[in-house]
Copies of this chain bind each other. A is one copy, B any other.
Amino acid sequence: MSLAPRTNYRHGDLRQALLAAGLDMAREGGPDAVVLREATRRAGVSPNAAYRHFADRTELVQAVSDAARARVAAAIEAEWDAVPSTLSAADAAHAHLRAVGRGYLGFARDEPGLFRAAFTVPRGPEAAFDPAEAGPRDRTSFQLLATALDELVAVGALPRERRSGAELSAWSAVHGLAMLVLEGPLRNLDREVARAAGARLIDMVDRGL
């Protein structure tokens, strides 16, 4: 007689299950909290099974990071879409820039773990256009920011000679605030204070770009 016939040999979509478990762990604890063995445990599978779908722990973490960036893009798109379409082109351009900033900071506030997984995990710069991290309408958060800046140039609100490198400056500002409040020295800054700081910061960017 065969004792204990195996039940679960084919899982169905283990890769997806591991990624989902990884996202859950990252949500509460950031990328360092993604532990491979725990992911397999949650998927009801032996530790080594993971190695059929990810070469490494780091590869799993990178997949989590990609998925997290896709969610950031989605959050930004949501803010973008909330901009009323009745605005003049000039007002719309400013509003879009601010929407990108708000979406970015809002995600950092609401999903700190995923935010850190999204932006503090080693991924090459080529990933800025990788569809794996794009939002619902296939646009990367970086692309959304670039679009807003192009609009600003088009309406004459941003001198063309300052356009180059503007992504980097704008992105740095909001990213810096997010990091300081999330895992930096300003950790646990009061939620409302952080919100006000975000608004003030976006003012600075809009004025100084």
Residues of A in contact with B (beta carbons under 8 Å apart): 32, 119-120, 122-125, 127-128, 142, 165, 168-169, 171-180, 183-189, 196-197, 200-201, 203-209
Contacts and interface: CB of A to CB of B under 8 A. Distances in A.
Nearest to A203: B208
Count copies of this chain in the complex: 2
A201 B169 contact: yes
Interface residues of A: mostly helix, strand, loop or mixed? helix
Contact of A176 (B120, B176, B206): B176
Given A122-B183, A169-B201, A173-B173, 18 more contacts: A119-B184, A125-B187, A125-B188, A142-B185, A165-B200, A168-B200, A169-B177, A171-B176, A172-B176, A172-B197, A172-B201, A173-B204, A176-B177, A179-B179, A204-B208, A204-B209, A207-B207, A207-B208
Contact of A119 (B122, B171, B185): B185
A204 B120 contact: no
